[in-house]
Structure 1
Amino acid sequence: MIFVVAPIESSKAIMNLNSKKILYSLSIIVAFFAMFIFSYDKWADPIVDFGREVYIPWAINQGKILYIDIFYFNGPLSPHVNALIFNLFGTGINRIFYFNFVVAGIIALLVNIVARQIASNFAAFISTMLFVFLFAFCQYILIGNYNFIAPYSHEATHGMVLSLAMIVSVLFYIKNNNRLMPFVSGFLLGLTFLTKSELFLAAASAILMAFIGLWRISGIKRGIYFITTVLILSLVPIFIVYLTYLQIMPGEKAIESVIGSWKYAEMPALWNLPFYKASMGVNDLAKSASIIAFVGAFYLIFIGIIIAASHFNYNKFNRLSIITVMITLVPSILFAIIFYLWPSYILVNFARPFPLLVAGSLLVMIRRTWVAGSFRTVAAMIFCTFSFVLLFKIMFHTRIYHYGFYLAMPAMVTVACLLFSWVPDRLKRVAKNPDFRRPYLTGMISLFVVIIACFISISSVRYSMKQNKVGYGDDVFFTSKKGVLVNDAVTWFTEHTSQDSSLLVLPEGVMINYLSRRLNPTAIINFMPPEIFMFGEENILASIKDNPPDYAVLVHSDTSEYGYKFFGIDYGVAIMERIRQHYVDTYQLGATPFRSNRFGMSIMRHNKKTD
């Protein structure tokens, strides 16, 4: 009888597990498409950043050479990937949207795979749903672009998918000893180098931790084979790109092109801008630390209530009582009330304690690996390292909006694994309570459902404000009222200028170049303070003098967050003088730029007599 029942029970358990996996997968797919439809065509910003993301690939296809004809501050991979998308499927913003939809889907899959290796299947499900609901399609502030469909920088999303794919290949090697995987890991690490420096640094740190983990659980020989192979293979894509650039530019310039953003990593004038100090939270460290402590205390209170209620349930009633359920729901109710009263405070400070939670998890996993390492602890140590290093750029101002949409995403996954797998597993062993997880997970699920609902409500409000269509055909997207003037400017250039007319937009707004299909003859496409510091005002001015555009458009932009309010008045004065001397006002849209807080544009025509 025993031999008959045991296989049957085992078979039922397997069927139950498979049913849960199918349910989780279907739920994630439904949520993914629902969020895509919910936010459809409302991801991009018509003025800030995203115009660069579509203009440069289009310009490359028109014969422009990155780093020579276009000044650029990131790695070369993403612009050429997007140029390839345009080549294969036709030029259109929607082509980029759809490709990024696929990239976001792959990231969701990779997040799920990694989370299943380091935590429970349920924690992996929660982690993936958090990515879908809070990061992939979100917009929490007035400016778009901080999502995975229309990112402010494709290096962020491309680098993320490459890094996560690298981590998955590393974990497969550790688990299955597939000797091909280190070659894959190395090549992916090299590709990540060609995106953004912070992503490469995080990925490289994960590789180092993988070496340490292999050393502890499999011996130094296997660890040396792994890291040697990874380092050698990582040079392959970098060397290929270098050789390619060497055919069209001098060796020194080719090296600068390959290293991308690393060239500007140690530029004091750039990182001393108020914008970056505030972004990192180092403009007022005491205030940042106090907020982290304050919000962290609420985390402890909320988690403590759920743990205490779960423990109380077991000791007093030995069953899931109504009282216990009510107590575990208290944090959810409190969070909803706080969000209702102070939504901006929640948005800005919700993720502040993430570095502490991730660092704590990392230290625990390092200790466990060092004492008695297992695959799961090594895998968790690797991912925690990746998550923690990625937070360096926003360490004292961690957030899920703005740059946090990609920098804080792995940390959010780590926190989900911590709260939905590592903490309950540990407490279950300590309390020796077989039913501890039920009330605990009831409280945690309700809390995270409320959190997701609150943040979706913010995105919903932002997207409801985007009712104005920008562009035509495959370039259509919806945005705020600024998009109306962008459309008017594009229409003006289409009706009053020839297709081969050149156009310069200052200080930002290269989307107008892209939508009107008018090339910028200069090497600079953005005149914001960081670009002025990176490329040098003299170099920029020389580029304008050598390649004067037929038209210039002044677009109102308040850049006070950088410490300089208006272009041409507080910075870029010499560039503005050049424009004023050699261009005449031709057409006005909205308010006159740089005179008030009202948005507007001035279209100016080149007066060749002044040259």
Structure 2
Amino acid sequence: MRNSAEFQGRRLGKEQIIKNWLRLDLWLGIVLVCFAAIAALSWGKLDGAVIDIGREVEIPARLLTGQVLYRDIVTYYGPLAYYVNALALFIFGHRLEVFYILGFLLSLTATVLVYQLAKTLTNASWAALCTVCIMIYCILGSGIFNFVVPYSYAAVYATVLCLMAISCVHYYEQSSYKMKWLIAAAIACGLAGLSKQEYGVAAIAGVLAAINLSGVQKFKIKIHRSLLVILIASLWAFIPLALLAQQASWENIHTSLFPIAKADVLNRSQLFQTSPIKTLQVWWLSLKVFLTTSVVIVLAMVAAHWLVKSKSNSSQNIRNVTEFLISFTFASAGIIVLSKVILRSQFMAVAYPLGELSWFIPVIAGWLLILFTKRHKFSQVGLLGALLVFSLVLNSRWLFYINFYGLYATTVIILFFTLLYYLAQKNRKIVWHYLLICLLIGASFKAGNLIRNYNYAVSSDYGTFYLTDAKTARVFNQTIDVIDASGATSVLVLPEGNILNFLTATHSPSKELTFLPVALPTAQDEENFLTRMRANPPELIVYVEREFTEWGYNTYADFNPIVARWIVDQYQLIHSFDDLIQIYAQK
């Protein structure tokens, strides 16, 4: 009798496990379908072909020629992403599509990790909404702050590694403190720091918070394990740098990763400036967008409910679908009017309700304080603590607002959905529908932009990407044709636009790849640069016109006049394309 009962219990337990997995697969399957759809729409579409992405693809290509990071190539980011991407180019060939595939693999990994973390804190359907939100605003899509063709692959690798570290420390807590998970978390922290410095620091802080907030272990054990995490993470960051220093020198590595001497110049840019006033302004503006758009959506839901309830005699399911569609239609129209007539948001052309959550940062700070003082009232204390501390430490980089949104907002969005899940216990269905409408508005507008506007291809034998501007695409194609026809192998592209180097399989003779005002900030720096160029002169110079209004300059010649004068004195103009690109050859 007892054996029969035990067998029945095991059978029911297995059935429950199967049901749980089927439920997991259903919602994760929906997430993956959304991922595939957005990925297909996003393939090869760039907003900033001139800015940043050229550096990100050209550095790995130059590493394959035997050059050494920090010695022969200047960058302010860690080496991990560049060397991994160089390995991918070595295996799969010199193609732009290699970076797309790498970006999508990183994006897929982040998607699954986000889903699992959000599901642990909420439930499967809520986690699906959270993950799709992060896909829309962070992982995929146009712009330069996504995971596929970002301004910095270092930030993408670091984000994925940080999510891994947080997941591992959660498994450490759930597995009754098995050390293998803590060691894995520490390794992920070290590699995150090796990719992008502030992410590694934030990851370590999050892991240490999880260790010390969770469980009933003795204080002494927690301290020992915290020190172990710091030691392992430091070794995994330090040893690769020590090996690299054998070729690049510690001085070059230090000045590259910690450009303290150039901090004043860097902070001239509006993008990098921080102040309490700016933070408060961003908090207020993002909160205003969230509240006003939320009011529009809630009013649309109320109006749709009233219309369907008063007019329809159909079945409940049909009424629910009709009500939702009417809500979405009313809300979309209201958001468009709100964006264009009232808000005129500086963040985006359309004021997406979940598109800017900087205002949530102070909420996170308050939540963390409550967690520390009343941890017994929370489930998943370690995981929550890790996410809260990580989000605060990472965004302290910008004085606690979310700059470069797509690459700094991931865990903030997870926490936003988690808090909303617990605050809306009695009205979760209504709030879930509100969130779904928010995401459908964001997804539909962004998908429409990707479908309508990215119609102009820039192509070479080494890859293709798509732009929104016909003139820019035409000029890029003409420039590629000229470089290919010249047979040149050494082409200096400045101030930005190194994607032209990659698409023509040429390389710049310069250590610097992007000539922002911080690259050659003094006259002596310009002279040193010209000394190197005279010793190894480029066959062609491609000058890509762009403004530097965020730095207070109109043209490149305004802040590097010595280099600009050297170009026109020592080289002759051979092609000029629509005042966007000028090509110079040696006299």
> What TM-score, normalized to structure 1?
0.82
- 1:597 aligns with none
CA–CA distance in structure 2, aligned partners of residues 281 and 457 of structure 1: 35
CA–CA distance in structure 1, aligned partners of residues 137 and 437 of structure 2: 12
CA–CA distance in structure 2, aligned partners of residues 10 and 308 of structure 1: 42
Change (3 A) 1:265 1:31: farther
The alignment partner of 2:58 has SS state of helix
Deviates more, 1:296-305 or 1:556-565: 296-305
- 1:267 aligns with 263
Change (3 A) 1:219 1:178: same
Checking the alignment, whether the CA contact within 8 Å between 2:356 and 2:405 is kept in structure 1 is: no
- 2:348 aligns with none
Q: How does 1:59-78 map to 2 (within 5 A)?
A: 59-78=62-81
CA–CA distance in structure 2, aligned partners of residues 212 and 304 of structure 1: 41
CA–CA distance in structure 2, aligned partners of residues 7 and 417 of structure 1: 33
Shift of 1:83: 0.3
Checking the alignment, whether the CA contact within 8 Å between 1:118 and 1:377 is kept in structure 2 is: no
Q: How does 1:47-446 map to 2 (within 5 A)?
A: 47-139=50-142, 144-176=143-175, 177-214=177-214, 217-256=216-255, 260=257, 262-264=258-260, 267-277=263-273, 284=278, 287-288=281-282, 290-292=284-286, 294-295=288-289, 297-298=291-292, 335-343=331-339, 345=345, 346-347=351-352, 350-369=356-375, 372=376, 376-394=380-398, 398=402, 403-420=404-421, 422-425=422-425, 436=426, 440-446=427-433
CA–CA distance in structure 2, aligned partners of residues 332 and 361 of structure 1: 32
Q: Please, which of 534, 544, 548 is the counterpart of residue 555 of structure 1?
A: 544
Percentage of pairs with the same residue: 21
- 1:601 aligns with 581
Shift of 1:531: 2.8
CA–CA distance in structure 1, aligned partners of residues 178 and 126 of structure 2: 27
- 1:316 aligns with none
CA–CA distance in structure 2, aligned partners of residues 454 and 265 of structure 1: 45
Matched, 1:521 2:521: no
Unaligned runs of 5+ in 1: 310-319, 426-435, 592-599
Q: How does 1:453-468 map to 2 (within 5 A)?
A: 453-463=440-450, 464-468=452-456
CA–CA distance in structure 2, aligned partners of residues 275 and 282 of structure 1: 15
Q: Deviations over 1:133-155 (max 9, x none)?
A: 3322222xxxx332111111001
The alignment partner of 2:272 has SS state of helix
Change (3 A) 1:59 1:293: closer
CA–CA distance in structure 1, aligned partners of residues 135 and 287 of structure 2: 28
Shift of 1:542: 3.7
- 1:469 aligns with 457
CA–CA distance in structure 2, aligned partners of residues 331 and 584 of structure 1: 62
Shift of 1:82: 0.6
Matched, 1:41 2:31: no
CA–CA distance in structure 2, aligned partners of residues 39 and 90 of structure 1: 22
CA RMSD of aligned residues (A): 3.5
Change (3 A) 1:307 1:359: farther
- 1:314 aligns with none
CA–CA distance in structure 2, aligned partners of residues 14 and 307 of structure 1: 37
CA–CA distance in structure 2, aligned partners of residues 521 and 202 of structure 1: 36
Shift of 1:321: 13
CA–CA distance in structure 1, aligned partners of residues 397 and 497 of structure 2: 26
Q: Deviations over 1:164-197 (max 9, x none)?
A: 1111111111221111222222221111111223
Paired residue type of 2:84: V
CA–CA distance in structure 2, aligned partners of residues 266 and 168 of structure 1: 36
- 2:518 aligns with 530
CA–CA distance in structure 1, aligned partners of residues 382 and 290 of structure 2: 27
Paired residue type of 2:179: R
- 1:429 aligns with none
Change (3 A) 1:469 1:295: closer
The alignment partner of 1:391 has SS state of helix
Checking the alignment, whether the CA contact within 8 Å between 1:289 and 1:396 is kept in structure 2 is: no
Checking the alignment, whether the CA contact within 8 Å between 1:490 and 1:512 is kept in structure 2 is: yes
The alignment partner of 1:247 has SS state of helix
Paired residue type of 2:332: A
CA–CA distance in structure 2, aligned partners of residues 532 and 266 of structure 1: 10
CA–CA distance in structure 1, aligned partners of residues 302 and 361 of structure 2: 25
Q: Deviations over 1:420-469 (max 9, x none)?
A: 2x2234xxxxxxxxxx3xxx233222222222222223423442221122
Q: Give the paired residue count.
A: 556
CA–CA distance in structure 2, aligned partners of residues 137 and 325 of structure 1: 28
Q: Deviations over 1:105-135 (max 9, x none)?
A: 1111111222233333333222222222332
Paired residue type of 1:36: A
Paired residue type of 1:453: L
Deviates more, 1:511-520 or 1:239-248: 239-248
Change (3 A) 1:539 1:415: farther
Change (3 A) 1:117 1:540: farther
- 2:310 aligns with none
- 1:315 aligns with none
Shift of 1:163: 0.7
Paired residue type of 1:273: S
Q: Deviations over 1:566-599 (max 9, x none)?
A: 110x2111111111211111111112xxxxxxxx
CA–CA distance in structure 1, aligned partners of residues 445 and 71 of structure 2: 41
Paired residue type of 2:128: F
Paired residue type of 1:291: L
Change (3 A) 1:285 1:409: closer
- 1:496 aligns with 486
Checking the alignment, whether the CA contact within 8 Å between 1:134 and 1:452 is kept in structure 2 is: no
Q: Deviations over 1:280-339 (max 9, x none)?
A: 576745644542553465589689999999xxxxxxxxxx99999999999977753442
The alignment partner of 1:55 has SS state of helix
- 1:507 aligns with 495
The alignment partner of 1:470 has SS state of strand
Change (3 A) 1:396 1:221: closer
Paired residue type of 1:389: V
The alignment partner of 2:223 has SS state of helix
CA–CA distance in structure 1, aligned partners of residues 514 and 277 of structure 2: 26
The alignment partner of 1:578 has SS state of helix
Unaligned runs of 5+ in 2: 304-315, 346-350
The alignment partner of 1:469 has SS state of strand
CA–CA distance in structure 2, aligned partners of residues 505 and 70 of structure 1: 14
Change (3 A) 1:267 1:127: same
The alignment partner of 1:527 has SS state of coil
The alignment partner of 2:38 has SS state of helix
Checking the alignment, whether the CA contact within 8 Å between 1:329 and 1:447 is kept in structure 2 is: no
Q: Deviations over 1:60-82 (max 9, x none)?
A: 10122111111111111111111
Checking the alignment, whether the CA contact within 8 Å between 2:211 and 2:382 is kept in structure 1 is: no
The alignment partner of 1:532 has SS state of coil
